[in-house]
Amino acid sequence: MMDLDLEARDVMTAGVVTIEDSGTLGDAVEAMAEHRIHAILVVGARGGTALGWVNTRGLLGFVGADPVTPVIEAITESAKSIEPTATLRAAVYALALPGVSRLLVRSRDSDVIEGVITDYDLTVRAVRLSPPRASTPGPP
C-alpha cells in the first residue's frame, strides 16, 4: 500500500526537459528521443514560463507533418504544478483530473522547477518507498 503522506519531492523525477516556444516539432522529437522521455515541457523564450506539454500521444496527430512546424502547435496538455511539500494524496487527486497526466513540482513563490510527477512515479516509486506491510500468517 502506498504511503499517501509522502511528499511530492519524495517521488518526483528531478529536473525537467524543456524546449522554448520558438522550437519546432523536429526539435521536440529529437530532444524526446535523446532523453528517452514521453513528454517535453514547452516554455516561453523570454521568461521561461511553462506553457504546456508536448507528448508522444499528441504527436501522433503530427505524423507526416513538416518538422519545422512550430512546437507550440503540438501542446496538448497545460502545465499544472504542485508544491514540493504537498502529499501524494494531493498529487493523486490532481493527476486524476481530466487532461492532467504530469505535474511540475515547484514552490508557489519560485519559478524554479524542481521536478515532475507522473502516474509512473506514483505507481512505481511511491510503492517502493512505502514501508513494508506486516505479513499475515497463512493457514496452518
In order of their start, the domains of the chain are: 8-129 (3.10.580.10)
User: pLDDT of the chain along its 140 residues, tens only?
Assistant: 567 778 999 889 999 999 999 999 999 999 999 999 999 999 998 888 999 999 999 999 999 999 999 999 999 999 999 999 999 899 999 998 998 999 999 998 887 899 999 987 777 765 666 666 665 565 66
52: left (phi over 0), alpha (psi -120 to 50) or beta: left
Looking at the whole model, is its pTM more than 0.85?
no
